[in-house]
Structure 1
Amino acid sequence: MTSPYLPDDCIHDILKHLQNNRSTLFNCLLVNRFWCRATVPLLYANPFDNVMINENHYLIILTLILCFNKAEILQLKNQLKQLNQLKYNNNIDKIDIDIKDNYKPLFKYPKYLEKYDCFTVNCIIFEWFRNYLNLSYNHEIVKNFIPSFHQSNLRQCVNIRQFQISLHLFYNKTYNIQVLTSNLTHLNLLSLQDINDDVMAQEFLENVANICLNLRKFEITSILYNNFIKTNETICTIIQNQNNLKAFKIVQCTNLLDKVLVSLELQKHSLVYIEFEHVNFNNIPSKTFKYLCNLYNLKYLKFDNCEKFSSEQCKMLNFASFNLKELIIIHNGRNYNNTILSMIKYLAPSLQRLSLIIGSLTIPIIEYLSIYCPNLNTLEIETTSIFNELLFPYFKNLKVRILILRIINENFINLAINLPISVKEISINFYQSHDSPYFHYSLHNPHSLNFKEFLENCHNCLELINLNQFINLEFLSIILNYIEKSNNNSLKFLGMKKLEKVLNDDESKLLDQIKAKGVEIVDFYNIYKDNTNFDFII
């Protein structure tokens, strides 16, 4: 009898499902040659994705160095040779980095790169030089190496799709811009940071404007000065030239905002998501603000710590041609309520999800949510000040299915008794203020009676409960009591924080009883992941 055989397509599908599990993929390299060839493109599509810099990142840097051409390797060798001579003259141990002239890597690894973030790569390079070669980030060799490294990779990465770059990278550096941009024609995401009028930066932008015509997402962050007329015009040209731009984000570029809004007019047939972050609408005339209102396909809109909307601008939202699905408002100030009320009033009728991450919540805001949000499915509220107890009775009139709360509060009962019957899923992350008499008690005993009081007093129709509690005997008992008091046993999912410990017999028994009731235990942090980056657009 022959052993079962998996078709190549099945193996590829299996490996794709493991794409986010790098340790398992590394093991797959060792199965056989076919698995190795199928796995390498997945490992090198985004090799620097982990925020925490680790040994694997250092090895990747060395691996990519070995893919340099002969001239680039010779340049690095000569630099290290000069440094070693200097160290020898000063009786310092030399740097040992083994780059054999006749060595050829098994794969052309840079060609598999799909996501390339220059800032992240720079940080890893700095750490690599510091840890392995004992060189600081401002050493001349490091400064000269970085342009060579980026240029070599971008020269070879024919599959690049997402590119993030700080234009400060060009400051006092020598790049062949034509080589650097030659493989950017298939980009679907471009993020530009630290925008300036350096000659090479301007040449880079002009090339991008001519060759990157199919961006799905375009981000600009931080114009360093306000008088870059030519640079600003090129940025706007990039926006205007796109064939099917879906998402746009602008951060700390207030001086460019009016020109951007005019440019977005040409993308009104395709734009579905816009994010404004730390920009000031104070000097935007009504005739320009109108271009935002004309983006008739817009579905997702985010205002993150934006300033000085005029009453006239807010009223213009009433005549917006789009029907939003999601609105996110983030603002730490306390003098923003009128703007929030206007946005709710004029943009809320079509909303399915609303996120308010604000300094404080007021009764008028809750009332507006009840009046103007007939189609709201998900409401997310996060406040940085103590939650006013007088607000809870107004929750009764909310018509939402999913309620996500991150608030400072000591009284869970008031929320429970005012929780509307329409709420089927609730996620609660209560913070206690430092002034609370229960604060220190809560720190030492995170399994306080507050959640017990909440579950004993809320309605019994909840299908999902997501609480920031660790799995422990006391809390499992509270949950089981809640399930058993519900005749229809509506609860299907229970979110709790994972605790790296082996459960004792009593805890395991209660957990099994809860699961026997048809309740699935899930990770507290993974139930409602933040989806505001809209990578699904790309």
Structure 2
Amino acid sequence: MSKEKTRGLNSFPVEIIHNIFHYLEKDISTLYSCVRVNRNLCKQVIPYLWNNPMPNTYSPVNIEIFIRFFDEKVKNLLKNQYELDIEDSYQPLFNYTCYIKILDPRGVRRAAFYWLKNYYVEKFPYSDIYIDFKNNQIIDIIEKSLLRLILKNSLKIENLLLDLAEKYQDIPNCNIFLLKELQEREEGEEGGEGNQSNHSNHSNHSNHSNHLDQPYQSYQSNYPSHGIREITKLSIMNSSVKQFDNIQEFLDLLPTVCKNIKKVRFYDLFFIDPTMELKLCNVIKSQKNLTSINLTYNFVNILRLISVIKHQANSLKKLVLRYIHHNDMFLLNTFDQLINLEYLEINECYPINIILEPLIRANLKLVTLKINDIEIRYDLVESIIKSSGSTLKHLELNIYIDIIENSLPLSKLCPNLSHLDLKVSIRMINDDDDEYVDDLRRKKPTFFNYINHLKHLKYFSADFTYYVMSYIEDFDRYINFINFPSLRFISLKDQYYSSSNSFKRRFDHFSTMFNEITFYIDSESDEYYLDPLEDFVREKKDSGLSLNYTFDGYYNFVATDRILY
């Protein structure tokens, strides 16, 4: 029976197997279980387990897998001078470094740190040896050697993550990223001048498949060493007030080495100076086909960095701007060139009209629009929604009910929406203004008319402030008449103290449409409110109803279909 099962599994097309593993890529425990099934499945899953082996701050990595293939001088130094017991007999089954696609130099140092810490704990369990993360020669040696090993042997590093925070010190010497030392050594080896001990440790493999079918004997292969030359994603973060020389040198060489970057993310650069900003500008300008730019700053003037975005106007598909505060009208001469954008996200940028007005002139055809607006400029947002029209599929907005009163409904502006995420508010009002309150209550259908008749909507989430729910007292009566024929998920979250009857009405309506319904209730609620609801949940448990308690002061109704939305 087991042989038949194994044979059936091996007969699966490779494309299907890879699609399954790609879906499970972040489910590490399941992937490890697949490794134990059989040899063939093990070979297929190893690349997914090792594409980013050092992502976690506290997850130890078995450095012995790599130390065995360090230079002999390095191994002798660790053994003799630092008295580390390195197991030479350990024989890894795969060339694990060849699968690494995400390189985080800080993660490499982190891996060395936790390995050394665990090493001393196991060897000297009653010792109080202190391991300094920033200043430790053993960590320095392992970090440099491991980074060199990864850069030389990885078949293709796609994503480079640089955290330049002071607590992680500087990035290693730039020559490592250029593979200069490795290239010079390899040229010497080809001329017969190389280290003979290294030659004895290496063997070539004709192809990748054969390489996986036998225990891995060395880290030498027929594949060229690209290092970081072929990266397509670059993320740089800097919260340090210090400017290290190596960082400046690295930013100078980056545009000359990396020509195929598609996505850049510069975030939390709180202390960027004009020199560093200019270097980052050169990185953006040097790329020929940038498709995504993410800029996240705070309290920093980055006008030059924003202005160079125009150099990528033809290829740029995605733009994310967060926490950018400026008032320079020069941006009006740049953002109107971004005519090919498909994804736009703006989060707490001020003043927002500096960004939106030129984008309106660009006549965008967006697929995704996300705006967390700290200002009330729905007129500008509506213009972008209108220009996108039927191409817009995903929309996230902050809206004010009293401002959208005379606005067109979304079904007229963007009829093909599949995802809608709204934060719904009203402008702060004076509770003594009875005339205004009465007028607002008379207009309560405004919100429902605004969202109704979205025939393709699959995901709907609405987050209501206290004021909204208190003035739409019969909310549930209106929500029952909304026409979302394709809906697969709905979340209604509010700060208003809804009654048990309100939740029951929601359940009675949505249980005819969805398989699973959950109420999220503030744990601070009194027993008078909770007891009848708990009884109701127990009664309807077989109908897919559950009750969860939270501490955030919100009340959330979530209904979902088992069909993925």
Which of the numbers 382, 391, 413 marks the counterpart of 1:373? 413
2:380 maps to a residue whose letter is S
- 1:522 and 2:562 correspond: yes
Which of the numbers 267, 275, 280 marks the counterpart of 1:221? 267
TM-score (norm 1): 0.70
Displacement of 1:138 in angstroms is 4.2
RMSD: 4.2
Answer with 319-328 or 466-475: which moved more.
466-475
Q: Provide the residue aligned with 1:533 in structure 2.
A: none
- 1:243 and 2:288 correspond: yes
Q: Secondary structure at the match of 2:289?
A: coil
Report 1:230-379 matches (<5 A): 231-252=276-297, 255=300, 257-283=302-328, 285-286=329-330, 288-310=331-353, 314-331=356-373, 333=374, 336-338=375-377, 340-350=378-388, 351-356=392-397, 358=398, 361-365=400-404, 367-368=406-407, 370=409, 373-375=413-415, 377=417, 378-379=419-420
Q: Provide the residue aligned with 1:23 in structure 2.
A: 29
What CA distance in whole angstroms lies between the structure 1 residues aligned with 2:386 and 2:120? 57
- 1:208 and 2:254 correspond: yes
Residue 236 and residue 472 in structure 1: after superposition, are their counterparts in 2 closer, same or farther (change >3 A)?
same
Displacement of 1:498 in angstroms is 9.8
2:409 maps to a residue whose letter is S
2:376 maps to a residue whose letter is N
Q: Provide the residue aligned with 1:192 in structure 2.
A: 236
Percent pairwise identity: 20
Report 1:313-462 matches (<5 A): 314-331=356-373, 333=374, 336-338=375-377, 340-350=378-388, 351-356=392-397, 358=398, 361-365=400-404, 367-368=406-407, 370=409, 373-375=413-415, 377=417, 378-382=419-423, 390=441, 392-398=444-450, 399=452, 400-401=454-455, 402=457, 403-408=460-465, 414-419=474-479, 421-424=482-485, 425=487, 427-432=490-495, 436=497, 448-456=500-508
Displacement of 1:361 in angstroms is 3.5
Residue 247 and residue 98 in structure 1: after superposition, are their counterparts in 2 closer, same or farther (change >3 A)?
same
Q: Provide the residue aligned with 1:508 in structure 2.
A: none
- The answer on whether the counterparts of 1:317 and 1:346 sit within 8 Å (CA) in structure 2 is yes
- The answer on whether the counterparts of 1:282 and 1:309 sit within 8 Å (CA) in structure 2 is no
Q: Provide the residue aligned with 2:17 in structure 1.
A: 14
Residues 35-71 of structure 1: per-residue CA shift (max 9 Å, x gap): 443332222112345x684xxx314445344443334
1:428 maps to a residue whose letter is S
Q: Secondary structure at the match of 1:163?
A: strand
Displacement of 1:168 in angstroms is 4.0
What CA distance in whole angstroms lies between the structure 1 residues aligned with 2:46 and 2:267? 33
TM-score (norm 2): 0.67
1:165 maps to a residue whose letter is L
Q: Provide the residue aligned with 2:133 in structure 1.
A: 137
What CA distance in whole angstroms lies between the structure 2 residues aligned with 1:71 and 1:60? 21
Which of the numbers 72, 95, 106 marks the counterpart of 1:108? 95
**Structure with max Cα Rg:** 2
1:363 maps to a residue whose letter is D
Q: Secondary structure at the match of 2:238?
A: strand
2:371 maps to a residue whose letter is I
Displacement of 1:194 in angstroms is 0.9
Displacement of 1:242 in angstroms is 1.9
1:469 maps to a residue whose letter is F
- The answer on whether the counterparts of 2:237 and 2:267 sit within 8 Å (CA) in structure 1 is yes
Displacement of 1:116 in angstroms is 2.8
What CA distance in whole angstroms lies between the structure 1 residues aligned with 2:316 and 2:482? 36
What CA distance in whole angstroms lies between the structure 1 residues aligned with 2:273 and 2:386? 38
Which of the numbers 44, 47, 58 marks the counterpart of 2:50? 44
- The answer on whether the counterparts of 1:170 and 1:200 sit within 8 Å (CA) in structure 2 is no
2:31 maps to a residue whose letter is L
Q: Secondary structure at the match of 1:187?
A: coil
Gaps of 5+ in 2: 122-130, 180-226, 429-436, 521-532, 550-558
Residue 465 and residue 294 in structure 1: after superposition, are their counterparts in 2 closer, same or farther (change >3 A)?
farther
Residues 311-343 of structure 1: per-residue CA shift (max 9 Å, x gap): x65443431232222211125x5xx113x4422
- The answer on whether the counterparts of 1:79 and 1:141 sit within 8 Å (CA) in structure 2 is no
What CA distance in whole angstroms lies between the structure 2 residues aligned with 1:52 and 1:495? 37
What CA distance in whole angstroms lies between the structure 2 residues aligned with 1:386 and 1:74? 70
What CA distance in whole angstroms lies between the structure 1 residues aligned with 2:34 and 2:507? 46
- The answer on whether the counterparts of 2:344 and 2:368 sit within 8 Å (CA) in structure 1 is yes
2:396 maps to a residue whose letter is S
Residue 298 and residue 464 in structure 1: after superposition, are their counterparts in 2 closer, same or farther (change >3 A)?
farther
Displacement of 1:171 in angstroms is 7.6
- The answer on whether the counterparts of 1:277 and 1:303 sit within 8 Å (CA) in structure 2 is yes
Q: Secondary structure at the match of 2:268?
A: strand
Report 1:44-193 matches (<5 A): 44-48=50-54, 53=58, 57-77=59-79, 80-81=82-83, 98-101=85-88, 103-120=90-107, 126-133=113-120, 135-138=131-134, 140-141=136-137, 144=140, 145-168=142-165, 173=170, 175-182=172-179, 183-193=227-237
Q: Provide the residue aligned with 1:84 in structure 2.
A: none
